[in-house]
Amino acid sequence: GFSWKLADHPKLPKGKTVAVVVLDGWGEAKPDQYNCIHVAETPTMDSLKKGDPDKWRLVKAHGSAVGLPTEDDMGNSEVGHNALGAGRIFAQGAKLVDQALESGKIYDGEGFKYISECFEKGTLHLIGLLSDGGVHSRLDQLLLLLKGSGEHGAKRIRVHILTDGRDVLDGSSVGFVETLENYLAELREKGIDAQIASGGGRMYVTMDRYENDWEVVKRGWDAQVLGEAPFKFRNAVEAVKKLRQAPKASDQYLPPFVIADDNGKPVGPIVDGDAVVTINFRADRMVMVAKAFEYEDFDKFDRVRVPKIRYAGMLQYDGELKLPSHYLVSPPEIDRTSGEYLVHNGIRTFACSETVKFGHVTFFWNGNRSGYFNEELEEYVEIPSDSGITFNVQPKMKALEIGEKVRDAILSGKFDQVRVNIPNGDMVGHTGDIEATVVACKAADEAVKMILDAIEQVGGIYVVTADHGNAEDMVKRNKTGQPLLDKTGKIQILTSHTCQPVPIAIGGPGLAPGCRFRRDVPTGGLANVAATVMNLHGFEAPSDYEPTLVEVVDI
Ligand code: 3PG
Ligand code: CO
């Protein structure tokens, strides 16, 4: 029968402190001026790369290696940390939604049936990120859902858009809104009353995560539910174009707006009897808004009016909280994660990051599961992130504080594994500010040094890797790799993640002599890391895990 007990590794000892360090948004790319990791002073990461070639390599962090639909899909932190923690590749959000839409199964599911009971008398509201970035949502899925909802009885549809510019180029929102508007016009020709009702930039409206700033969610609630926003427009293309000019906001930070009719009346507030679907498949930035829609007792902000609606998520965003209770597509069931195994085998674990990535080394790492497996053996520490600023203003973020906390945890001798995410390369990379991203990479490197120094002191082992690329390439390129220019001759800044591989390095005084990277797993990916870490703790990995990256040779 099934057992949590892991077999002893035949050659690797137990009892070493293992630091697992994930640099967020730290890919490997050719060195040039747009590679902030190359430009920045990063002596620690450089020394790992230039050191023993058997202890540094690259692994895949995008596409099918992390469960995404195609090799054109860049990685992201959620799927990356899922793979790192689970040791196996699970079909992820985007792929599950694609399958459900393609087969039409989405319309037979419990979630769709639940919301469709409002279609006779109420309005269907779709809220979500409008882009083809594929990290949180996808435009083609929204269009398919609009079509299918119409075919399955929705008569009145309102779309509440969140503009992107983070997973896609800044400025691309105009084109996405135009595409959506054209599609809604087609639906109207078919007799469905379909319109955009409100909007705002994803970083300023609705899509906060890890309870960083409830004001963001409130701005969305006010526009989407109450029909109230500082800006009112007759149509959304005009809204986005004008707001980009004045107050001159980027796509990510557009202020909230509502669309109003000839009499200035908002066209789509959410009222009793309506159905609401949040169309994002990715969970992290939907949990807060889902709580606002679903919880009867809710005190994070004054909702003013709480309509009696039927609400469903594209997926269930938190399996532990069962939130929301209705959803259109079932999430991947990630079971038997490495964290759970190791805790069952007595490994005392410390996990730490700052707020913006804290859920990554806990919730995502543990297969989208909140909380501890065993409170006695685990400690998760969240360092509060700066809030109310964009991260290029404070590019060092909390790297130093994270480094100190992790160092102290290592030196305390209370833990067998310390697991950490250092967010700078990613969070600052997303701002598109190249100078700030260089500062960010340096700070991340310094945090790594603090951790490796502590590992040196206690005779431990380190594994340093990343979840996906970002800071190593800050410019959009053509097929041959040349930077692309915009109409005015300026380079097009790349704010998104990349499809680059990421480094992984092992070392430390506790690493057994002869332990090195295997040469027969050339296409390894993030999912191979879990078995690797289990080995370094002195255990064999479960047989259905992706193979380990390490072996022990006689020396
Ligand atoms: C975000 O949500 O900030 C980006 O879309 C992706 O971020 P990630 O690095 O957490 O995947
Ligand atoms: Co990111």
Residue 270 CA to residue 258 CA, distance in Å, equals 12
- The topology (CATH level 3) of 18-90+334-552 is Alkaline Phosphatase, subunit A (3.40.720)
> Is 47 noted as a catalytic residue in this protein?
no
Q: Per-residue confidence at 500, pLDDT binned at 50, 70, 90?
A: very high
Neighbours of 31 (CB within 10 A): 10
- 17 close to ligand 1 (CB < 6 Angstrom): no
Chain segment 34-61, per-residue pLDDT in tens:
999 999 999 999 999 999 999 999 999 9
Closest ligand relative to 208 C-alpha: 1
Backbone angles phi, psi at 539, to 5 degrees: -120, 155
Residue 143 CA to residue 314 CA, distance in Å, equals 14
Chain segment 197-234, per-residue pLDDT in tens:
999 999 999 999 989 999 999 999 999 999 999 999 99
pTM for this structure? 0.87
How crowded is the C-beta side of 114, counted as CA atoms within 13 Å? 18
Given the residues 77, 137, 173, 385, select the one marked as catalytic.
Answer: 77
Return the SS3 of 365.
coil
- 496 close to ligand 1 (CB < 6 Angstrom): no
- 164 close to ligand 1 (CB < 6 Angstrom): no
- The alpha carbon of 210 and the centre of ligand 2 are apart by a number of angstroms equal to 14
Question: By alpha-carbon position, which residue is closest to atom 8 of ligand 1?
Answer: 77
Handedness of CA 492, 496, 501, 502 (dihedral sign): positive
- Sorted by sequence, the CB contacts under 8 Å of residue 53 that are 6+ apart come out as none
Q: Where in the chain is the domain with CATH 3.40.720.10?
A: 18-90+334-552
Q: H or E stretch including 505? A: strand 502-507
Question: By alpha-carbon position, which residue is closest to atom 10 of ligand 1?
Answer: 77
Q: What is the ipTM of this complex?
A: 0.95
Contact 479, 74 (CB under 8 A): no
Best mutation site among 170, 497, 498 for ligand 1 pocket (most ligand atoms within 8 Å of CB):
497
Best mutation site among 281, 282, 430 for ligand 1 pocket (most ligand atoms within 8 Å of CB):
430
- 473 close to ligand 1 (CB < 6 Angstrom): no
Closest ligand relative to 209 C-alpha: 1
Least confident of 92-96, 200-204, 316-320, 515-519: 316-320
- The alpha carbon of 209 and the centre of ligand 1 are apart by a number of angstroms equal to 10
Chain segment 141-188, per-residue pLDDT in tens:
999 999 999 999 999 999 999 999 999 999 999 999 999 999 999 999
Residue 256 has a pLDDT of 98
Residue 552 CA to residue 555 CA, distance in Å, equals 9
Instruction: Quote the tokens at residue 401.
Output: 């504080």
Closest ligand relative to 165 C-alpha: 1
Nearest CA among 347, 424, 345 for reference residue 386: 424
- 77 close to ligand 1 (CB < 6 Angstrom): yes
Cross-strand bridge partners of residue 266: 260
| 299-311 burial code (b ≥16 CB/10 A, e <16) | eeeebeeebebbb
Residue 321 has a pLDDT of 82
Residue 487 has a pLDDT of 86
- The topology (CATH level 3) of 94-329 is 3.40.1450
Q: Where in the chain is the domain with CATH 3.40.1450.10?
A: 94-329
DSSP line for 30-81: --STT-HHHHS--HHHHHHHHS-TTSEEEEB-SGGGGT-SSTTSPP-HHHHH
Assess whether the previous peptide bond of 324 is cis (omega < 30° from 0): yes
